[in-house]
Amino acid sequence: MRYLLKSLFILIFLLITHHSSLITRDVVAQGEFETAYKVSYLVKDDGKTDITQNITLKNKTNDSYADKFELKIGSTQVENVKAQDKEGPMETTSKFDDNVTTISVRFNARVIGIDKTLPWTLTYTTSDLASKAGQIWDISIPRLAKNPDITAYEAKILIPYSFGELSTTVPAPKSSNRTGLQQEFTFDKDQLFQSGIAMSFGKKQIFAFKLNYHIENNNLTAQLATITLPPDNNYQKVVLEKVEPPPSNVKVDKDGNFLAQYKLAPKEQKDITASGYVEVFSKPFRNIFSRLTSEERQLYTQPQIYWETDNAFIRDKAQELKTPEKIYNFVADFLKYSNERLNLDKIERKGAASSITSPKDSVCTEFTDLFIALARAASIPAREVEGYAYTQNERLKPLSLSLNKGDILHAWPEYWDDNLGWVQVDPTWGSTSGGLDFFNKLDFNHITFVQRGVSSTSPYPAGAYKKKNQLEQKSVFVEFAKDLPEPTSTPQLTLNAQEKILSGIPTRILIGIKNVGSTSIINQDLKLTASKLEKVGSLQKPSSESGYTFSQTIPILPPYSQENFTFRLQSAGLFKTATDMLIISYAGSEISRPVTILPIFKLVLIRESALSVIIAILIIGAGLYLYKKIKKRKNPHPMIKSPL
């Protein structure tokens, strides 16, 4: 029988290209060979990973055989490549080019005849799959290219127990157990085809930050200036130790940003430093945002500059994709990251519509803008996150948000989920890392500085507040920390009410709250309790035997923030005599103040009321006097009746 010499090329890991994983010469047809894999990843204490692939090649023809095997591994550099079959070592070559490692293996033996098999082993080492950031170890294995010629694939990952407990994993392993000083996890073919493997080990990730800001008022009148402080959200908890000089107030905008306010005199400049800590989570660990109203849903699905939802391609593609995950996968596959743009003096933001016409010239802003535009066009609320992202390998996880040259940040999108709230994803790193899953979980290294949905261009994140002659100076400093300082969240309460209140006459109760602690107070009720006084115009019955309780939920009160509230209360009837105790409680703090309720006929006994009555009488008297004077001037000679 005459045999035709053929070479077999198998693309195993899918990274940059997303076409079929079987690449053959024209004379080789798909289905002529089958492959089965048992792969083990032995991760060492230093993060280096020894990979052993036990491969069985099966011939499905009578007139063909394979003489060469080619393995392409995207975004991963390897070393110590070796291959062996039952006859001994095999010839291997490896090359890293265009972010892809190609390993070529020449077989010692020919597999001739239908259903004949060749078992052989390929081993190599890489430093790209395991990395430690702070207190977290991340294991990242790209997904497999879908290839019908791969009939079986089993992956076993061995992790040192010193890495700590498994905190997150996507997908969940088929099995896990501990063997000696190692943790063992197994995954099957379908899991690796779907998403690859992303695992994190460790309990928590904490960063310490120091942020420098410069603001100035070039006007001839006093102005109110603001800076953005790192906000609390579903992924991070912030401890703000110090802001110097302290702001007059910190307001929370519609996007949940913390806007620190400063009053600047004409021509005044001010340098500000904010320092603190942030604990970061890879998945939403809470939902501090209320369910979106219909108005908010409309707001977060509107077109904006850079988010052109009315673009024909974006509109049609959104109707085709429909879900956040499909939009994420499309963006990660469609756009290609451009390292060349990083060499430019300034990286211009192109926007979603422009990214479509030049998909290979994209950085993180294009990945983010296109995801948001598609999501909004599909009626999915979406917005942008800008902040600091820690990366050890900028080839796999690049940063490209240039703020005035001195600081390089990162941008990524988030979408609204009715159960989880705002969910952050990173299609940029999903693309550049070779298909690692940054949709079902993020990581422990994304710190939010600002959230933008109401506007696509403001507010600005930390790093964007600089003097014009100091644009290249670094103003964002972030480093790992071991522990989160004990946060304080004791509010300072004030209560302003008259000591004596007239029965039946409304009175104002003024309440002030200031967060003098280091962390935000989230979703706490402000309560005002009274035994005799009820809300003006209210028909409510006493909330308890002790009287009435009026409450108002404050979604979030950041450090340095202060809020004022007014309650209008009154007692029933006009002739009641009683005493009452006003009690204000909020977030574990409480203050009280006694008040006396007097019948209305004792109006003159209340100094404040008496003064008000006197002033009112004087005003009325003055008004009548002026009225008579004006009337007299208009008619100086009254008509005299003639005698009959």
Q: End-to-end alpha-carbon separation of the chain, Å?
A: 153
Buried b (16+ CB within 10 A) or exposed e, 609-634: beeeeeeeeeeeeeeeeeeeeeeeee
Q: What is the pLDDT of residue 411?
A: 97
- Residue 140: the pLDDT is 87
| Model pLDDT, residue 90 | 94
The pLDDT tens digits of the residues spanning 542-579 come to 555 556 788 889 999 999 999 999 988 888 778 788 88
DSSP-based three-state secondary structure for 2: coil
The DSSP H or E segment spanning 35 is strand 33-43
Q: What is the pTM of this model?
A: 0.81
Residues across the chain? 644
**How do residues 45-74 score in pLDDT, each as one tens digit?**
999 999 999 999 999 888 888 888 888 887
Cα(225)–Cα(548) distance, rounded to whole angstroms? 41
Weakest mean pLDDT among 23-37, 74-88, 397-411, 547-561: 23-37
Q: Please state the domain extents for the chain.
A: 4-201, 204-487, 491-603
Above pLDDT 70, what percent of the chain?
88
Is it the case that residue 640 has pLDDT exceeding 50?
Answer: no
Quote the DSSP letter at residue 287.
Answer: -
**pLDDT digit string, tens, across residues 187-235:** 998 888 887 888 999 888 999 999 999 999 999 999 999 999 999 999 9
Pairing mode, strands 534-535 and 562-570: antiparallel
Q: Determine if the peptide bond prior to 398 is cis (ω within 30°).
A: no
Whether 520 shows a pLDDT value over 70: the answer reads yes
Q: Does the pLDDT of residue 14 top 50, yes or no?
A: no
pLDDT at 534 over 90: no
Report whether pLDDT(468) > 60: yes
Predicted local confidence at residue 27, as pLDDT: 37
As a whole number, mean pLDDT of residues 255-267 equals 97
Mean pLDDT value across residues 85-111: 89
Say if domain 204-487 classifies as CATH 3.40.50.850.
Answer: no
pLDDT digits (tens, 9 = 90+) for 471-514: 889 999 999 998 889 888 889 999 999 888 888 888 899 999 99
pLDDT bucket at 533, cuts 50 / 70 / 90:
confident
Which strand (E) or helix (H) includes residue 9?
A: strand 4-11
* Same fold for the pair 4-201 and 204-487: no
pLDDT given for residue 544 in this prediction: 52
| Superfamily grouping for domain 4-201 | tricorn interacting facor f3 domain (2.60.40.1730)
CA distance 524 to 424: 25
Query: Are residues 414 and 423 in contact, defined by beta-carbon separation less than 8 angstroms?
Result: yes
Taking CA atoms, 496 is separated from 235, 549, 569, in Å, by: 38, 17, 13
pLDDT above 70 for 613: no
Top CATH class, 491-603: mainly beta
| pLDDT of 182 higher than 50 | yes
Q: For position 469, what pLDDT does the model report?
A: 87
Q: How confident is the model at residue 537 (pLDDT cuts 50, 70, 90)?
A: low
b/e per residue 313-348 (b: at least 16 CB within 10 A): ebeebbeebeebeebbbbbbbbbebbeebeeeeebe
Mean pLDDT, the chain, as a whole number? Answer: 86
Query: How confident is the model at residue 12, as a pLDDT?
Result: 42
**pLDDT tens per residue, range 615-637:** 656 677 777 777 677 766 666 55
